[in-house]
A = this chain, B = another copy of it.
Amino acid sequence: LGLDPDPARLWPRAVELAGGSGIAPGSPAERAALAISSHCALAIDAAGEHCVAVKLQLACFERLGAPGWAVLAEVSRRARERGLLVIADGKRGDIDVSARAYAQAFFGEAETPFGPVPGLGVDALTVNPLLGAETLEPLAEAARARGGGLFVLVRTSNPGAADLQERSLASGETVSERLAAIVSALQGPGAIGDIGAVVGATAPERLERLRELMPSAPFLLPGVGAQGGRVEELRAAFAPGPAGGLVAVSRAIVEAHRRDGGDPERAAAREAARLRERAWALAA
């Protein structure tokens, strides 16, 4: 269940719970944060039972500043209480000392003279590998220490992905295939590893080759619905071998009522259930 809350497109009940659009206490940022918190909680309660994880798009929380970051923590807790895994979709990536700071922010805690400050405590973070494998290691280590993992960008779902990721290197492989090799080199042991890969559902023709290069990586598959990807085309992500994929769907679930009518909760639950059936059919 992808949660990319846009304060201009929230479920009406979430806006009402924040006092409606009339005069009420709190700054616009505080009220918008409250509305986003309610919106995400309602969406989790409606559709969560059909999902295994929430994917939180950090940009959507950051745009509300500190109150947005507080909501991020609340939504993570809510999802965990409902038995869902939490994936922070932040696409972070930085040099060693900064990568360790991100590791504290998402998986660990910061040591301070005033006592430890716990981070967000998510199960997985999406990371950007442009700076090289060395910069992913502190994050992989911190994720592993709490039984979590990473999803490394390998082939993204957007049209511009071709600008760089689809280019051929002199060695013959594409940039994406090189990134897949970085994922495999970082991989933990076991038939299903803890280093996953983001592979867009909008480029299903790439799945077979990428699954071959990363046999034990869980795939995070965004791009179904609003971006044009279809669950039925993702079979190669789920075979051969035990590592499968997480189909990440955001707008097609949370905005299902705009297409199907009816109330947002029921439309979201129905769409999530429908997509789950289709995903399970692939893995069968």
A residues adjacent to B (C-beta < 8 A): 4, 6-8, 10, 15, 18-21, 24, 26, 28-29, 31-32, 35, 57, 59-60, 62-70, 73, 91-99, 101-102, 104-105, 110-117, 119-120, 128-135, 153, 156-165, 167-172, 175, 178-179, 182, 227
Most buried by B among A7, A96, A182: A7
Contact of A134 with B160 in the complex, beta carbons under 8 Å: yes
- CB-CB < 8 A to A63: which residues of B? 101-102, 104-105, 110, 117, 119
Known contacts A18-B114, A161-B132, A164-B179; is A66 also within 8 Å of B64 by CB? Answer: no
A-B contact pairs, 9 of them (CB 8 A): A57-B98, A60-B101, A64-B110, A65-B69, A95-B157, A95-B158, A131-B153, A133-B163, A169-B169
Beyond contacts A60-B101, A64-B117: 5 other A-B pairs, Cβ-Cβ < 8 A, are A4-B98, A32-B113, A63-B102, A164-B182, A167-B170
- Give A145 Cβ to nearest chain B Cβ, in Å: 16
This chain: how many copies in the complex? 2
- CB-CB < 8 A to A170: which residues of B? 167-170, 172
Known contacts A57-B98, A65-B69, A105-B62; is A160 also within 8 Å of B133 by CB? Answer: yes
- CB-CB < 8 A to A156: which residues of B? 95, 130-131
Residue of B nearest to A167 (CB): B169
In the complex the two chains form, what is the Cα distance from A91 to B170 in whole Å?
27
- CB-CB < 8 A to A59: which residues of B? 92, 94, 98-99, 101-102, 105
Contact of A158 with B96 in the complex, beta carbons under 8 Å: yes
In the complex the two chains form, what is the Cα distance from A105 to B72 in whole Å?
15
Residue of B nearest to A130 (CB): B130
